Structure 1
Amino acid sequence: MKTQATRDKLIQIGAELIAEQGFNATGINAVLSRAGVPKGSFYHYFSSKEDFGLAVIDAFAEEYDERLAAILQAPDQPPLARLRRYFDVGRADMHSCDHARGCLIGNLGQELSSRSEAFRARLDQVFRQWERHLVACLEEARAEGEIVETLDVERLAVFILAGWQGAMLRAKTTKSQAPMEAFEQVLFLEVLGRESVPAPSAANAAAEAP
């Protein structure tokens, strides 16, 4: 249906612009212009800019949740290999945008959580869902003896998500994957007591080559 397709396109363009410059700096006219939608028609699809922002969050969260589940629930890999894959994908994403965007949900959490209760509650809900995926993966790792039984996997999941979000933010400010790699190394070596992570990926090597 054309109306739904147009709405979806506005959300997609909005997500791109918001990831690049933030929610407050993203004007409605800029979204309409890039999407090729006539000016003045925005309120046909959304009741307000806040409504639009929530729609962007919902769309991104749904898509990323499926991606996260595919990584952390992959049946052909042991649990900690899946966790490493999660970090690999995150580093590859940062490399692909030259460390300019980071996590859309994390960025919006910093910008909008104090702006309105609707934003804060929805963003918190998204983060909690991501933590549940991590908890499930870590529970498998504990059951299979990959991590010690005494680890509280729920607290560990909160720590991993918070630390990884912070590492991505720092990677943006340094224009380098070093903070992300450092977090991953400390997590596996110091917290989980596993061997250090593998050598940097090809994407990292290319980014760091002279």
Structure 2
Amino acid sequence: MPVTQGDTRRSILDTAQRIMSHKGFAAVGINEVLSEAGVPKGSFYHYFSSKDAFGEAMMRSYFADYLADMDSVLGEPGATSAERLQKYWDGWRETQSLDDCQGKCLAVKLGAEVSDLSESMRLALKEGTTAIVDRLERTIEAGLADGSLSIDGDARTTAQVLYEMWLGASVMAKIHRDIGALDTATKVTRQLLHV
């Protein structure tokens, strides 16, 4: 089956996510991504109008995949909302730990860096992280309805606090090269959700 332009574009974006999750955005040149993806160096501008547009497309692609995975976990049939949330946090702990994130920690890795470099990438990050918090909020509300969890405040604030805490814990795990911060986030999450 012939390779389509969409396949090539996706290959470039997937390769960039993998490399940049380890090195960051500014440290990675377009030529490195194209070489790793097996795409001719002269064809970059056929797929993206600029490095900025490429970065925005990469962030949007990352969040589309992340949110689809999140929807799968949070929509698992036969589980309570509290169990679904716990599975999501367990998955976070597993995939965001230290250097073994394999493209799964782009928001953690690039959040601060690209927010100062590119307004379009910052907006893609904002939209993506807002969509994550939206899903957490809905699942917390469902947990209140099914009785599998309880909270002391409102669902939106709780969802934001939890997401921000896990982002911070991921950064601290990288700084200290120790997953203790993620263990603490797990413990505090259970306390906040009364599970």
**TM-score normalised by L of structure 1:** 0.85
1:163-174 superposed matches below 5 A: 163-174=165-176
C-alpha distance in 2 between matches for 1:74 and 1:100? 24
| Residue 193 (str. 1) matches residue 181 (str. 2) | no
Q: Return the match for 1:135 from 137, 148, 151.
A: 137
- Aligned mates of 1:54, 1:99 — CA distance in 2: 20
Paired residue for 1:41? 43
Which residue is equivalent to 1:109? 111
Mapped partners of 1:25, 1:46: distance in 2: 19
Report how many residues are paired: 193
Query: Are residues 149 and 102 of structure 1, via their aligned partners in 2, closer, same or farther at CA, if it must alter by over 3 Å?
Result: closer
CA 1:13–1:32: 2 relative to 1, 3 Å: same
Q: State the AA in 2 paired with 1:43.
A: Y
Give 1:175 deviation, angstroms: 2.1
Selected match of 2:27 from 25, 28, 41: 25
Equivalent residues in 2 for 1:27-106, closer than 5 Å: 27-95=29-97, 97-98=99-100, 103-106=105-108
Contact (CA 8 Å) 2:149, 2:193: kept in 1 or not? yes
Conservation of the 8 A alpha-carbon contact between 1:99 and 1:172: no
Q: Distance in 2 between matches of 1:2 and 1:132?
A: 34
Contiguous gaps of at least 5 residues in structure 2:
none
Q: Could you tell me the TM-score, scaled by structure 2's length? A: 0.91
SS across alignment from 1:62:
helix
Q: Which has the higher helix share?
A: 2
Q: Indicate the structure whose relative CO is greater, using CA pairs within 8 Å and at least 6 residues apart.
A: 2
Confirm or deny: 8 A CA contact 2:13 2:61 kept in the other structure: yes
Q: CA deviation at 1:176?
A: 2.2
1:45 corresponds to which letter in structure 2?
Answer: Y
Q: Deviations over 1:69-95 (max 9, x none)?
A: 111122211111111101111122135
Query: For each residue in 1:152-174, what CA deviation from the matched residue of structure 2 results, as whole angstroms up to 9, or x when unmatched?
Result: 00000000111011111111122
Please tell me whether the aligned partners of residues 141 and 147 of structure 1 are also in contact (alpha carbons under 8 angstroms): yes
Superposition deviation, residue 2 in structure 1: 2.4
Task: Write the distance in 1 (CA, Å) between the matches of 2:16 and 2:57.
Answer: 10
Query: What is the letter of the counterpart of residue 193 of structure 1?
Result: H
Q: 1:103 touches 1:165 (CA, 8 Å); kept in 2? A: no
Structure 2 CA distance, aligned partners of 1:4 and 1:144? 42
* Runs (5+) with no aligned partner, structure 1: 195-210
The separation in 2 between residues aligned to 1:35 and 1:99, in whole angstroms, is 19
